[in-house]
Structure 1
Amino acid sequence: MKYAVIGHPIQHSLSPVMHNANFKALDFEATYEALDIPPKHFHLIKEIMTEKEIDGFNITIPHKERIIPYLDEIDTHAQTIGAINTVKIVNGKWIGYNTDGIGYVKGLNRVYPNLKDACILLLGAGGASKGLAAALNQVVEQQLTVANRTMSRFDSWDLSVNTMSLKEAETHLNTFDVVINTTPAGMSDNQDVVISLDQLAPNTLVSDIVYVPAKTPILKLAEAKGNPIYNGLDMFVNQGAESFKIWTGQTADINVMKETVLEHLKRRD
């Protein structure tokens, strides 16, 4: 069996080492690779996957919504979100799923046990944000707030959330218990911070769905202010385990997956 992750850029991804470690631990005969597909070449996605004989793949930034027209079927949960991070290929049929939100909420619940009562702000309105919002809506009693620079991005949202601009969010920042960055700001060598933390309340948990680097610029700023922080490592591992289950029907070795990722992150530091 052959699996892959597609995105652009993709060189930072530890999906291959994580999944291949899981395959080895389970004695499962399969391979997993990273494929860098620039947006201008995305129209060739079917040909690329067919040529490489891929049986299933993950999708990361910036292709989570772009993949939708190429799918034959979409899981109900993913349909609600309008973004895909996992595709299973069965007899040439492409079926889309979204495991991002499920993976993130599982981890967040452990570090923030009172999640159901939390007032949450999501930064960004892309595919990752949609996935998290859909999953959080199943757990959180208060309505979520999502902030984005361009308000027109919300035109494609069918989820029940409060929406505001990033500027508005900055002025109301002290009203939130959890702030989650879902934008690419801070990923890899990017040093951008999508929002000012000047109005951040003292105990607010600041999270980033990025796991490389372990502390993005926004997390470093929050930590310097004395706030608790939480990165995207658990989300990454959990969503990968969910994807593996979709592809194979088997339960992944989450401990091996997480240990492998942590080991490779230490080597990079």
Structure 2
Amino acid sequence: GKEAAPGQLQAQELIETYNFHDHDANTEIYGLIGNPLEQSPSHQMHNAFFKKKRINAVYVKMPLLEEELPLFFKLAKQLRIRGLSVTMPFKEKLFDYIDCVEEKAIGAVNTLILDEKITGANTDGQGALDAIGDVANKRCVIIGDGGASKAIAFEAKRRGAHITIISRRAQNLENIPEYDILINTTPVACPIDLSELLPRRVVMDINVLHTTTPFMLRAKALGCRLIYGLEMFERQAHGQFLRWGQTLSL
């Protein structure tokens, strides 16, 4: 048959990924907002979970521009949207649309619960630190200063780590401090000088799709323990399911 037009779904994807045959007038809507969203595997993981748990819900990607946010949130409850994942570039830009936040000090959200009010939460830090394990008294250097970096730093500090955050725009990327754990949160290849990598440390890259980057290959060659983005992604998604539990009938 003919290919679907851009933005439209193939019939096979509707059935196999979105569980189309299981939907009815009572199906609740969850989704991902941000831009761009093409590379995100969120819809696959969340819809598989709904199918496994026999939950009458669907999870869809909702690419938005920043100027579309006011209208989107005005319509969200009318559209039966009960929960949202939030990705770049909106993690730090939604506070005007949220009624309350679990941890406002983080300064970013990646999860919204839409009930009588809109509640913001952040599971990025929990997901990353659960993947890493014990960080108490460890020196943790985080590359990048966006929403995910803030959440990871907040949770790592809460668990007893000593934190240094380095912006990818910083001038000192060729002279990073001593560390036990190095985390790249930038959306592109890690910008530090790879000769700065230390042997036998813990190295994490939160990018989900890119696992064979020069950064991770160099860390592997140095005998480091590698933690890939998918390990964090799965754990932060579980945190979202728990937050949505009040509306999901888990």
TM more than 0.5: yes
The match for 1:148 is: 167
What is the alpha-carbon distance in structure 2 between the residues aligned to residue 52 and residue 224 of structure 1? 50
Give the AA of the match of 1:98.
Answer: N
Find out whether 1:236 has 2:239 as its counterpart.
no
Q: Which structure: greater helix fraction?
A: 1
What is the alpha-carbon distance in structure 2 between the residues aligned to residue 126 and residue 24 of structure 1? 33
- How far apart are residue 225 of structure 1 and its match? 4.1
What is the alpha-carbon distance in structure 2 between the residues aligned to residue 149 and residue 236 of structure 1? 22
- The structure number with the bigger radius of gyration is 2
Find out whether 1:172 has 2:171 as its counterpart.
no
The match for 1:36 is: 63
Find out whether 1:108 has 2:132 as its counterpart.
yes
Give the SS at the match of 1:137. Answer: helix
Show structure 2 runs of 5+ residues with no match: 1-27
Alignment counterpart, residue 27 of structure 1, candidates 51, 54, 57: 54
Alignment counterpart, residue 200 of structure 2, candidates 203, 216, 234: 203
2:198/2:222 contact within 8 Å kept: no
What is the alpha-carbon distance in structure 1 between the residues aligned to residue 59 and residue 139 of structure 2? 38
1:215/1:231 contact within 8 Å kept: no
The match for 2:157 is: 137
What is the alpha-carbon distance in structure 1 between the residues aligned to residue 105 and residue 119 of structure 2? 15
1:219/1:229 contact within 8 Å kept: yes
Give the AA of the match of 1:195.
Answer: I
Cα deviation 1:214-260 (Å, max 9, x = unaligned): 333421232244433211112111111111111124797xxxxxxxx
Identity %: 32
Structure 1's 81 and 218: CA in aligned 2 closer, same or farther, altered over 3 A? same
- How far apart are residue 107 of structure 1 and its match? 1.1
- How far apart are residue 169 of structure 1 and its match? 4.6
What is the alpha-carbon distance in structure 1 between the residues aligned to residue 146 and residue 82 of structure 2? 26
Give the SS at the match of 2:212. Answer: coil
Find out whether 1:89 has 2:114 as its counterpart.
yes
The match for 2:40 is: 13
Give the AA of the match of 1:198.
Answer: S
The match for 1:260 is: none
What is the alpha-carbon distance in structure 2 between the residues aligned to residue 4 and residue 216 of structure 1? 29
The match for 2:18 is: none
The match for 2:84 is: 57
1:211/1:232 contact within 8 Å kept: yes
TM-score with structure 1 setting the length: 0.76
What is the alpha-carbon distance in structure 2 between the residues aligned to residue 241 and residue 95 of structure 1? 17
Structure 1's 95 and 239: CA in aligned 2 closer, same or farther, altered over 3 A? same
Give the SS at the match of 1:83. Answer: coil
Show structure 1 runs of 5+ residues with no match: 151-164, 187-192, 253-269
What is the alpha-carbon distance in structure 2 between the residues aligned to residue 220 and residue 47 of structure 1? 46
- How far apart are residue 48 of structure 1 and its match? 5.3
- How far apart are residue 44 of structure 1 and its match? 3.2
Cα deviation 1:138-186 (Å, max 9, x = unaligned): 2134x20000145xxxxxxxxxxxxxx3x4353134x111110111113
TM-score with structure 2 setting the length: 0.81
What is the alpha-carbon distance in structure 2 between the residues aligned to residue 43 and residue 131 of structure 1? 25
1:245/1:251 contact within 8 Å kept: no
What is the alpha-carbon distance in structure 2 between the residues aligned to residue 97 and residue 105 of structure 1? 16
